[in-house]
Amino acid sequence: MANLTSSFLGIKSPNPFWLASAPPTDKQYNVERAFKAGWGGVVWKTLGAEGPPIVNVQGPRYGAIHSNDRRLLGLNNIELITDRPLEINLNEIKEVKKKWPDRAMVVSLMVPCEEQCWIDILKRVEETEADGIELNFGCPHGMSERGMGSAVGQVPDYVEMVARWCKQNTRMPVIVKLTPNISDIRQPARAALKGGADAVSLINTISSIVGVDLDEMSPEPHTDGKGTSGGYCGPAVKPIALNMVAQLARDPEMKNLPISGIGGVTVWKDAAEFMALGAGNVQVCTAAMAYGFNIVQEMTTGLSNWMDSKGYTSVDQIIGKAVPNVTDWQYLNLNYVVKARIDQDSCIKCGRCHIVCEDTSHQAITNIVDGKRHFEVIDEECVGCNLCVSVCPVQDCITMEHISSGVDPRTKKEISKDYGNWTTHPNNPSKIPDAAE
């Protein structure tokens, strides 16, 4: 059995699955249920400064994208940070940490951009014996209108400034949670590192309008006929999150900056992918909000079984394993030729591969052969684009075959065994000259 124990910034947890700062981690009741179910840790829902509690809308807070059988594909929310009194949250955090010492307890924070505000709250959090703090520079709705959340995360100078205040005023490890609502994720991450942050976590939710109510002519969800932009999360955002995690993991400046991966983690495989791209652990919210806390049992057993099957004994062995294989387009091997292959035994003859190739790509798949419905790749036309694989409803029916030698029937050129990329390609006006020239 693989060892799933995780140590993130020295914060130990029995597995790398934490619940992200969100509604599931707003109360002792929920968090204890999560720990009972087996979650490795939580990031407590964001606390704000002392004072009158936050007020939420009393209309709907969530909007959703569904599949036709109502699977939740994407969720959007306009809930603000915790709306419970600070004192109650702190007491509960302290009690939970005491009762569950082996679980990670990180507290998310969001207070105005004044140093004293941060000093005040840090002191209070330290008293709870929590393992660390996460700075919420990510929420794209509501709080951002008040100069907090993503309003901070979108300005690298502020990120650096607040991270520095925190590092100077607490012994606790500081994680900066990044907003994806920015054009280059590396900028705020570098700023966090400059400010002394111990780690970053990403992504927070993406600014979104989840739909429009065409009867009311109002964004969904709406309160009294009006809607606002909310934060989008769930399976739909995973590709965006993976890319941003990889961008940081590849950045030489942030080589040693730990990353907590967030964004659409739904099953064990999602977690393994985040970790392979450099995340030290993962945080989950939407999947739990869709199915409840017990999903962690699938996640831990799935990850463990996969690790066993691959011979990995600890999670550290996975972290960053795929990073060296993330590269820029210009370094992809242009001499690597693939052709689609359709397994006729598993083909159900739906014809989707044909029509998408015919209508929208390269006219490289037949529909009729010898007067019969038959789908076969025309090597002379196939550019190996993978669209047919993407649309085929049958697992492994269409695969991409590497052609390593001979003449490519499409280009009529001999296939080179050598690696050759765009930087040296003859068609590249700014190609790097050969050493011989």
Looking at the Cβ atoms of 141 and 354, the one nearer to other proteins is: 354
Shortest distance in whole angstroms from residue 388 CB to other proteins:
12
Peptide bond into 221 cis (omega under 30): yes
- Asked if 67 is part of the footprint of other proteins (rule: CB under 8 A), the reply reads yes
Q: Which stretch binds other proteins (CB under 8 A): 203-211, 217-225, 301-309, 345-353?
A: 345-353
Q: How far apart are CA 158 and CA 175, in angstroms?
A: 15
Q: What is the rounded CA–CA span in Å between residue 366 and residue 114? A: 66
- 176-184, 229-237, 243-251, 347-355 -> range binding other proteins (CB under 8 A): 347-355
Q: Which listed residue (394, 407, 414, 419) binds other proteins by CB under 8 A?
A: 394
Angstrom CA distances, 314 to 14, 15, 249, 270, 378, stand at: 12, 10, 20, 17, 46
List the one residue from 314, 367, 399, 424 that touches other proteins (CB under 8 A).
Answer: 367
Does 351 contact other proteins by CB under 8 A? yes
Residue with Cβ nearer other proteins (85 or 351): 351
Exactly one of 113, 117, 139, 285 is catalytic; name it.
139
Q: Which residues pair with 134 in a beta bridge?
A: 108, 175
3-state secondary structure of 46: strand
Should residue 339 be labelled a site residue for other proteins when binding is judged by CB under 8 A? no
The reply to whether omega before 203 is within 30° of 0 (cis) is yes
Q: How far apart are CA 358 and CA 340, in angstroms?
A: 14
Catalytic: 353?
A: no
- Taking the least distance from each CB to other proteins, the nearer of 262 and 388 is 388
Please select the residue that binds other proteins; options are 10, 51, 52, 70, rule is CB under 8 A. Answer: 70
Our CB check for other proteins shows the closer of 66 and 269 to be 66
What separation in angstroms does the CA of 159 have from each of 5, 140, 218, 296? 31, 15, 34, 32
Q: Which tokens in the block code for residue 198?
A: 């111990």
Binding segment for other proteins (CB under 8 A), chosen from 67-75, 149-157, 275-283, 428-436, is 67-75
Nearer to other proteins, 393 or 426 (CB): 393
Tally of CB atoms within 10 A around 218: 15
State the nearest-atom distance from the C-beta of 355 to other proteins, in Å. 4
Q: List binders of other proteins among 12-51 (CB under 8 A).
A: none
* Distance in angstroms (rounded) separating the CA atoms of residues 29 and 46: 16
Q: How far is CA 412 from the centre of its chain?
A: 42
Find out whether 200 and 159 touch, Cβ atoms under 8 Å: no
Nearer to other proteins, 164 or 354 (CB): 354
Gap between the Cα atoms of 274 and 14, Å rounded: 18
Among 373, 402, 413, 425, binds other proteins (CB under 8 A): 373
155 binds other proteins (CB under 8 A): no
Tell whether residue 366 is a contact of other proteins (CB under 8 A): no
- Rounded CA separation 196/287 (Å): 32
Contact range with other proteins by CB under 8 A, out of 187-195, 302-310, 346-354, 382-390: 346-354
Do 249 and 258 form a contact (C-beta atoms < 8 A)?
Answer: no
Residues forming the active site? 139
- Contact footprint for other proteins (CB under 8 A): 67-70, 348-352, 354-355, 367, 373, 393-394
